[in-house]
A = this chain, B = another copy of it.
Amino acid sequence: MKFPVLGKSPLFAGLADSEIESLIEGINYRVRFFYAGAMAALSGDEILSVMIVLSGSMRGEMTDLAGRTIKIEDVYPPHALAAAFIYGSGAHYPVNVMANTDSELLIINKDDYLKLMNADSRILNNYLTVVCTKALFLSDRLRFLSFHTIKGKYAHYLSTLPGAAAGRVLIDHTQQELSEFFGVTRPSLARAISEMQQEGLISVTRHEVRLLDLKGLSKLLEV
């Protein structure tokens, strides 16, 4: 097996190493090496290929108006860069892609990857799963941020947990983790929770939250 890491890639899930190898060998591909700091793609470049990180790690970063860079995310093996965007209409890289450390990328032309999907329905299924799951994740996150207030976010969060309908949910995250997930500061979240208790909406014990006033909680979800 030339690229053992691919066996763990969600894009090749369910395929034996030998199958992956023969599929890959049937199409055009190339492996490129990037020294730490080298750019693999520039923001705005057209996306022409699937790029899978084989070793090292890549970083997506934006350049702002003054030319400074802001890191967006890291991509580690065996994941692909911008996988969910590749076939978008006029797909362009939304960020600069740069090697964190010395890294290798497996590069497959978009059209060749399409051939792979046509050749093996598992590859097609895998890719569809990856991109749809990403869309679901983004959509969830977006709906979440659409609640303006911390109380609204917390109420919505509680409502997504199992047991919410029964009025009793278990939380196994710290306030610190939740506040980061909500994009707010930890003391502000603590204050919001505290006020919601005083208002009789919930009662919080160690790891359990009881939803006392479902009607009142649902008011927080408006707008």
Contacts and interface: CB of A to CB of B under 8 A. Distances in A.
Given A124-B117, A124-B118, A138-B142, A211 B65 contact: yes
A159 B64 CA distance: 8
Q: How many copies does the complex hold?
A: 2
A222 B68 CA distance: 10
Contacts of A222: 70
A68 B65 CA distance: 44
Consensus secondary structure, chain A interface: helix
A5 to B, nearest CB: 21
Contacts of A142: 138, 141-142, 145
Interface string A132-154: 11111011111101101000000
A94 B221 contact: no
A87 interface: yes
Interface residues of A, number: 51
Contact of A94 (B67, B139, B145, B148): B139
A2 interface: no
Interface in A185-210: none
A221 B132 contact: no
Contacts of A85: 132, 135-136, 139
Contacts of A173: none
Nearest to A64: B218
A145 B66 CA distance: 21
A-B pairs, top 10 by smallest CB distance, nearest first, are: A66-B218, A88-B132, A138-B138, A87-B128, A84-B135, A64-B218, A87-B132, A88-B133, A66-B215, A88-B136
